[in-house]
Structure 1
């Protein structure tokens, strides 16, 4: 039996966490013994699979700070993961053969300290150094050693996987010293057991009566997700439809991953509410802060269309989840959605402007039949290109090859 340990910095409910949980469940289904080790885990804010005793989650190091006065988040994330790796080497009694780590590569040199060196598979969602800005000299000086460390330690992995062809290209540009490192694309998948469930709650509790066209935005309350685009697109749609019967049928639901410990989540939620008031959209907009797996499925299955606003998203699992639930997608025409969404078939790929998004949204208002036609096409595309079976087979093959 192959023993696999997953190392992940913060096991919340984001797209990266969804992939880690799906990967653990996939390998367990192939007879592997799996554990997830993390620096933070909240049973009240997690994916339901992690509550199963058969998928043990070990949380260590949560007492370590996440930042210093709101600064140095990256540095402390690296330190927390290094601590988790050290704790794994010193106190894990069950042993392991392969370590699957993602997001933070700084722990890889620590794993090499094992008495019998273990194989490390690193999954690159996106280079960490590209997820922050460098507006000041101090920030550039602070990030320089961390960027060097990220590139160096990523190259120490025995195998590197990426989540899309787009990320593979960015990997090459970002890490020039790793030109000889081979990267394989492993697309995230959708676990059908999480979505093939009946609708248990209608949207009537979330939207006013008569709102038959419901647009849905699902993303964390982070500024880089460009959630204001969805609100400005709604305002532009109002201009297109006029203040009449068609507009009164429309509602936008903004459902976001929200953690009160994260200052940006709190601040951005307030910013979006203020923007909603300034645009006069209060009656046509519903905010949801965090949600359960069941609530997400209910939303995806009942909404007319998903608005996916981030530009240059490295992959983006939400469009794939939406399509599996027969929900069309309007997404920014860049990054991962270029590979997941079939433009004009399963949704629309648009320029990240209110005008472009609202033009696509207007079609769903005026052409109700698009919902069903594109929804069916989306379901077929996910089954064909992003199935759990394909994901499981590829990942299992990578893990076995590392143990041979």
Structure 2
């Protein structure tokens, strides 16, 4: 196949997953990448594995500082219009490039890229890592987001710009998703959300783990538990701090959080919360892949409590390293962690989470048993070769759907 890939991804799990998929597609297909200058190209670099890599110039407009910050919604709306113009030009390029299919990734500004609604002759497959959560879901409350005085609260209620920006973003997102020939998701949890929000039938195409990189190293376990993810409210790190605070001080391990992205207000909030509750906290930024593998191997347990996490690659990486996982029983973690086999799944209850953590910390033999089972489970069921093979099937079906007469039955394809 001649495959055109489009992305505007920052560093993080989605970019890492795309790199692994490209590694598998590259040797068997002609793959060209089209991306924007605003994406992170150094992290999980795609260039060594593709035939062509074209970067189009785009940077978001600069934002105003106080007291003009309310005008920033206008700048964000202008960015949406600029992206629509850019993807219109890109669609023309792709349609002249004799591509069999376009594999489209989320955009850090649009979420579902407007390229999906611009392409007319090239079949499109959109990998929806998650819906536009900040529009469709309530966000966790944070003290730093609350207006400090009554006049600001009144202005917030009267200001029409945030609502208008979210309305435009939501309308464009729904339209773009519905234009894709085939929508892929990373879990059955996200598949149900896509059906509910967009009214679109999505197909589960599970991701994988590089078990050669994420592996047991035989390092000594430290009095430390690890969590991984961007420093944002949806990752639930405050819940972990409060859960750890319920353990006796003498038994309480250090909490290390590895993050490629750290939101400064969230970072300060977590530091303050940990200090108030006497929880030793280490916030680690710019963690290399090698260092991340070492951290998984040094931790006694990986603790994971994101809010309705779409997939939960962290759990699989930890299990691949032979480290058990304690996770909140929500979202995609229910599809990756085997309860009482590779780790423990509990309700979002601080007392229950603390009890589960105390159980494993006090029983190293059981923790090792869970870790060994987790490694075996990931090697057997979560390889990238399986993920790439599933993706190839979906790309081929998107091509065939354009070739078949209208109304002709299409073949069924299972993701696992």
TM-score of Structure 1 vs Structure 2, range by shorter chain: 0.7 to 0.9
In structure 2, C-alpha distance between the alignment counterparts of 1:256 and 1:296, rounded to whole Å: 10
Contact 2:101–2:122 (Cα < 8 Å) also in 1:
yes
| Worse-matched range after superposition: 319-328 or 32-41 | 32-41
Per the alignment, residue 107 of structure 1 pairs with 114
* Residues 1:227 and 1:74: Cα distance change in structure 2 (over 3 Å): farther
CA contact (8 A) 1:125 1:162 kept: yes
> CA deviation digits over 1:251-283, x for unaligned, max 9?
221111225xxxxx12111111121222223xx
When residues 34 and 384 of structure 1 are mapped into structure 2, their CA distance, relative to the original with a 3 A threshold, is farther
Alignment of 1:5-404 (within 5 A): 5-10=4-9, 12-42=10-40, 46-47=43-44, 49-50=45-46, 52=48, 54=50, 57-65=53-61, 69=69, 71-72=72-73, 75=77, 78-79=80-81, 81-89=83-91, 96-103=99-106, 104-109=111-116, 111-112=118-119, 117-128=121-132, 129-130=135-136, 138=160, 139-175=162-198, 178=199, 181-196=200-215, 212-238=222-248, 243-244=249-250, 246-247=251-252, 250-258=253-261, 265-281=263-279, 284-404=280-400
Q: For the structure 1 residues 366 and 308, does the alpha-carbon distance in structure 2 shift closer, same or farther, using more than 3 Å as the test?
A: same
Q: Deviations over 1:51-91 (max 9, x none)?
A: 63647544323333276648448746644643553453456
Residue by residue, what CA displacement relative to the aligned partner does 1:150-173 show, whole Å, maximum 9, x if unpaired? 222211111111111111111121
Once residues 351 and 171 of structure 1 are traced to their aligned partners in structure 2, the CA distance between those partners, rounded to angstroms, is: 24
Gaps of 5+ in 2: 141-155, 401-416
CA contact (8 A) 1:189 1:386 kept: yes
Deviation at 1:194, TM superposition (A): 3.4
For residues 82 and 112 of structure 1, the distance between their equivalents in structure 2, rounded to whole angstroms, comes to: 12
Seen in structure 2, the aligned counterparts of structure 1 residues 229 and 74 have a Cα distance that, compared at 3 Å, is farther
Structure 2 match to 1:207? none
Distance (whole Å) between structure 1 residues aligned to residue 167 and residue 261 of structure 2: 30
Instruction: Give the Cα separation in 1 of the matches to 2:113 and 2:48.
Output: 29
Displacement, 1:288? 0.5
Segments ≥4 residues shifted beyond 6 Å: none
Deviation, 1:36, is 4.7
Report the Cα distance in structure 2 between the residues aligned to 1:317 and 1:271, rounded to whole angstroms.
25
Aligned residues: 370
C-alpha distance 228-362 of structure 1, shift in aligned 2 (>3 A)? same
Q: Deviations over 1:120-161 (max 9, x none)?
A: 101112211325659968444432333232222211111111
Equivalent residues of 1:190, 1:387 under 8 A apart: yes
Greater shift, 129-138 or 157-166, is seen at: 129-138
1:131, 1:67 → 2: CA distance? 25
SS in 1 for 2:395: helix
**Cα RMSD after superposing both structures:** 2.9
Q: Equivalent residue of 2:126, what SS?
A: strand
CA distance in 1 between counterparts of 2:76 and 2:196 reads 21
Calculate the TM-score normalised by the size of structure 1: 0.81
